[in-house]
Amino acid sequence: MTEHSADIVLEVRGLEKHFGGVSAARDINVTVRHGEQIAIVGSNGAGKTTFVNMVTGYLKPSGGTIRFRGRDVTGLDPRQTARAGIRRSFQIAQIFPQMTVLENMLTADLAGETGRTAVWRASLSPTRIERARKELQHFGLSGHEGRLAGTLPQGIRKQLDIAMASVGEPELMLLDEPTSGVSVDEKLDMMDRVIGPLRATGATIMFIEHDIDIVRSYAQRVIAFYEGTILADGDVASVLADARVREYVIGDKHA
Ligand SMILES: Nc1ncnc2c1ncn2[C@@H]1O[C@H](COP(=O)(O)OP(=O)(O)OP(=O)(O)O)[C@@H](O)[C@H]1O
Ligand SMILES: [Mg+2]
């Protein structure tokens, strides 16, 4: 144990993922400390989602290790990683369109449970309903409680997806393109609505983002992926100024 180890939330060493001949991750090494807010950038197909999928147990690595709070979580399934305190949201919001916003929140509350508890039982539990309502309020979603999730605008859907992922106050939250599908003028607003509440629960946050303005506004650190490898990792200004990042990731027009 080093003197700083109490701070370390995530330690990824030599992580690899191969799909046939495609290397979606090659020798990925990342250390994340408690309270960091990290943007993951990279062009399409760079391996960003693959990284998030492996950390959250949605994909089994081809090699390497993932340690969370010192515990080896390599190869655990999504339910196990969630229970350990790692959660994620998706590039495309994973909500139940035929259920109301409140019902969606109730199912999220149940997701951590084992056994035969069913949604209808949860829907009869005043304690659970109260808790789900509080969560919705925390994310500014109270006004949408009774609406069918399928009828919500894209930004609110994504907000709901993130709110659902944050049930149980996970220590590490990975957001896969939280602002994708949201109009340019709404992106900053949308980030304000999710990052604040997540921070308030004490979560360490990693988010995948293509929009460099969002990266500048909401990250202290940037990890740039390129063809399955990490091209640069450091504070926002230095990574965005890196010549290779400018060439391969953002393109000079945005830098
Ligand atoms: N399940 C899979 N089977 C085969 N190849 C895959 C699979 N998932 C990802 N890949 C490949 O791995 C590489 C990395 O994909 P990944 O989805 O991680 O990229 P990304 O950086 O998230 O891109 P985007 O910005 O488009 O979301 C790509 O070449 C992709 O085609
Ligand atoms: Mg992706």
> Model confidence over 6-34: pLDDT tens digits?
899 999 999 999 999 899 999 999 999 99
Residue percentage of the chain with pLDDT more than 90: 75
118: in domain: no
pTM comes to 0.92
238: in domain: yes
39: in domain: yes
CATH number of domain containing 9: 3.40.50.300
Surrounding ion ligand 2 within 5 Å at CB are: 48-49
Residue percentage of the chain with pLDDT more than 70: 92
255: in domain: no
**Structure confidence by residue, pLDDT tens digits, 34-45:** 999 999 999 999
Whole domain around residue 245: which residue ranges? Answer: 5-97+148-250
The total number of structural domains in the chain stands at 1
More confident residue, 2 or 195: 195
Q: Whose CA is nearest to atom 4 of ligand 1?
A: 19
Mutate which of 49, 59, 212, 231 for ligand 1? The one with the most ligand atoms within 8 Å of its CB, which is 49
State how far the Cα of 226 lies from the Cα of 43, in Å rounded to an integer. 7
* Alpha-helix residue ranges (DSSP H) falling in the chain: 48-55, 78-84, 101-111, 119-122, 126-138, 154-165, 184-200, 212-218, 236-241, 243-245
143: in domain: no
78: in domain: yes
pLDDT at 16: 98
Residue 153's CB is within 10 A of a number of other CB atoms, namely 13
Does residue 130 surpass a pLDDT of 70? yes
What number does the ligand 1 atom closest to the CA of 228 have? 14
199: in domain: yes
Q: How confident is the model at residue 116 (pLDDT cuts 50, 70, 90)?
A: low
197 lines ligand 1 (CB under 6 A): no
Distance 19 CA to ligand 1 centre (A): 9
129: in domain: no
